[in-house]
Structure 1
Amino acid sequence: MDVKDFDYDLPEELIAQDPLEDRSSSRLMVLDKKTGDIEHKIFRDVVDYLQPGDCLVLNNTKVIPARLFGVKEGTEAKIEILLLKRKENDIWETLVKPGKKCKPGVKISFGEGLLTGEVLEVVEDGNRLIQFHYDGIFEEILDQLGQMPLPPYITHQLKDKNRYQTVYAKYDGSAAAPTAGLHFTPELLQQIRDMGIDIAEVTLHVGLGTFRPVKVDTIEEHHMHSEFYRIEQSEADKINRAKANGHRVVAVGTTSTRTLESAAEEDGTLREKSGWTDIFIYPGYKFKVIDALITNFHLPQSTLVMLVSALAGREHILAAYKKAVEEKYRFFSFGDAMLIK
């Protein structure tokens, strides 16, 4: 399958640079995956498409302010670091710019020495393993010194860090937000619960692989980076119950989808599980768990466009995206939403 089969034309002005003041007032395109029929709604209208007994699945990961700016000890050269994966003993796998200045043994100082790091080794893709040293609590220092690692197509920092965080974010660990969840407010989630819809939570810490372009011509050759996920038994039970009773599992976001599909048994049932997943979902994939998906509009030729095409069919997705461009929907992380039902 050719990567170019998942391309579409997107005018740059449709890339949303800021989140809306009211999260749930984004637009919502509703796409019927069987017929390709499209409806135009407001996000809070999503309740009209949920039924008692359905299970809505959220990814409760929390974005850490993972972008750090420091200086190389000895030369004061500016170094930018992005935290990717926490290892043991305060060692992190990181993306470093400029990499050529950061050979093993190099020491970097952040916040005038509040945090220091030593480059241990170069690993896959030129990433660096860095050991950090500090006094106090790492997360508090990070909150003080770090910036939110916004996607490359967002051109400025946010006034309010929390707008790149879902209202239900719980567990620190992501380098990017599960952006489909940014549309929910506490009030909307309560309304959904009051309708008799179960809400289950899973955790997948989103890595930078989310933004990596597909660099091969045929998608079968693309390798996804692994991300850590966890499902607790209480949440697996909610999802299993909905399936067993003939109700739908509605995933919020591609990260929730990848978690469920990674963890499921062949018969679609789930149990408590954690681990690393590099699942790559593209057309031809047979979904084991999810029936419907709430998601944003994704980058051309990206693995996420391939995932939604696996659920709704490439032709339906590309037609829907063409319509979204015509109707001037807002695209990407801070953009509008789509419900594939």
Structure 2
Amino acid sequence: MRVDLFDFHLPQERIALRPARPRDAARMLVVRGNSAFADHHARDLPQLLKAGDVLVFNNTKVIPAQLEGYRGQARIGATLHKRLGPRSWQAFIKNGKRLSADDVITFGGDVSAIAQQRHDDGSWTLHFNGDEPVEILLERAGRMPLPPYIAAKRGTDAQDREDYQTMFAREEGAVAAPTAALHFTPDLLAALEEAGIGHETLTLHVGAGTFLPVKADNTQDHAMHSEFGRIDSETAARLNAVREAGGRIIAVGTTVLRLLESAADQDGKIQPFADDTAIFITPGYTFRAIDGLMTNFHLPKSTLFMLVSALMGLERMQAAYAYAIENEYRFYSYGDASLLLPD
């Protein structure tokens, strides 16, 4: 499909720079099949879902993956993208033309790394020096990797360490938050459980590639970034049992949806999974593993807007986004949510 079909105009003032407080006070647009759009809040979820349904969350934890340093006198910016080994990460580099193989980049806090290899997409493999775990080095020298559409408008601060992390964050390795889950609080989770709505967690380490623009003119020419995901056998079995009992699987976030769809077989059974996935979902895709999606509002011409258009239909999502803009919903990572329930 033509990428320009997924374009729309978004006023800059609709981009949220801080999250709603409390988190579950965020607005939520409910899109059900061809029914009228309905304005709600995240805290209304217990009344919008059914007993027996299960919400699935991503328990990845965002690491302070953005680094600033120097190679000699040249200033170098690095955003870690994907772990390649105990001390090696693939990173997008700002001012990467100033780098050569075996150059040493010195970051703050006595942290340094060797630029080992340049990849075809312009990223580099960085090998961190020393014996301390890389996670400790990043805590000392790194900062939270806010999305570029927020970072371009304000600096990262101490509050982002808390704001840009979900209540489910356990497994370190993400360089972007699974932002749909930012709307959840312990009180909301308790209300869901009281309503008979369960929850499960899985892990997909979100990479910085999620923010890369689609530069191709046609979706078939876009190379999707890969990310590591894991679903254990016990979780897969419980999710399959939900559907067998007539319940629905509601993915909280596109990362969860992509991992579940990657793990599902042709019959829709979710299998244990521990591998990279580069699944690219566009209109025409047949969903096998999920029955609904809670997600934030995404960028024009992004792979994520293509994904929600595949779930609900392009014209339907164009209308939903036009409604959201007109009614002053807040967009992107710190913005409001949508609950998408196809017929």
TM-score (norm 1): 0.96
After superposition, the Cα gap between the structure-2 partners of 1:165 and 1:220, relative to the gap in structure 1 and judged at 3 Å, is: same
Structure 2: which 5+ residue stretches go unaligned? none
1:144 and 2:140 are equivalent in the alignment? yes
1:95 and 2:108 are equivalent in the alignment? no
Residues 96 and 102 of structure 1 are in contact (CA less than 8 Å); yes or no, is this contact kept in structure 2?
Answer: no
Higher mean alpha-carbon deviation, 55-64 vs 127-136, is at: 127-136
In the TM superposition, structure 1's runs of 4+ consecutive aligned residues that sit over 4 Å from their partners are none
RMSD of aligned Cα (Å)? 1.2
The 3-state SS of whatever aligns with 2:129 is strand
Letter in 2 for 1:313: G
After superposition, the Cα gap between the structure-2 partners of 1:213 and 1:36, relative to the gap in structure 1 and judged at 3 Å, is: farther
Matches within 5 A, 1:149-168: 149-154=145-150, 155-156=153-154, 157-160=156-159, 161-168=161-168
The 3-state SS of whatever aligns with 2:61 is strand
Compute the displacement of 1:271 (Å). Answer: 2.6
Aligned equivalents of 1:296 and 1:327: distance in 2?
15
1:27 and 2:27 are equivalent in the alignment? yes
Deviations 1:186-230, CA, capped at 9 Å, x for gaps: 111122122222211111111122111111111122110111000
Aligned equivalents of 1:272 and 1:291: distance in 2?
19
Aligned equivalents of 2:194 and 2:292: distance in 1?
20
Deviations 1:284-337, CA, capped at 9 Å, x for gaps: 000001111100000011111110011111111000100111101100111100
1:215 and 2:248 are equivalent in the alignment? no
1:16 is aligned to 16
| Residue among 74, 94, 105 paired with 2:102 | 105
Residues 87 and 133 of structure 2 are in contact (CA less than 8 Å); yes or no, is this contact kept in structure 1?
Answer: no
Higher mean alpha-carbon deviation, 151-160 vs 218-227, is at: 151-160
TM-score (norm 2): 0.95
Matches within 5 A, 1:242-257: 242-257=242-257
1:278 is aligned to 278
Aligned equivalents of 2:196 and 2:327: distance in 1?
34
- Kindly, what percent of the aligned residue pairs are identical? 45
1:323 is aligned to 323
Compute the displacement of 1:136 (Å). Answer: 2.8
The 3-state SS of whatever aligns with 1:62 is strand
Aligned equivalents of 1:69 and 1:142: distance in 2?
11
Matches within 5 A, 1:3-152: 3-32=3-32, 34-72=33-71, 75-112=72-109, 114-152=110-148
Aligned equivalents of 2:242 and 2:120: distance in 1?
41
1:181 is aligned to 181
Structure 1: which 5+ residue stretches go unaligned? none
Aligned equivalents of 1:96 and 1:306: distance in 2?
27
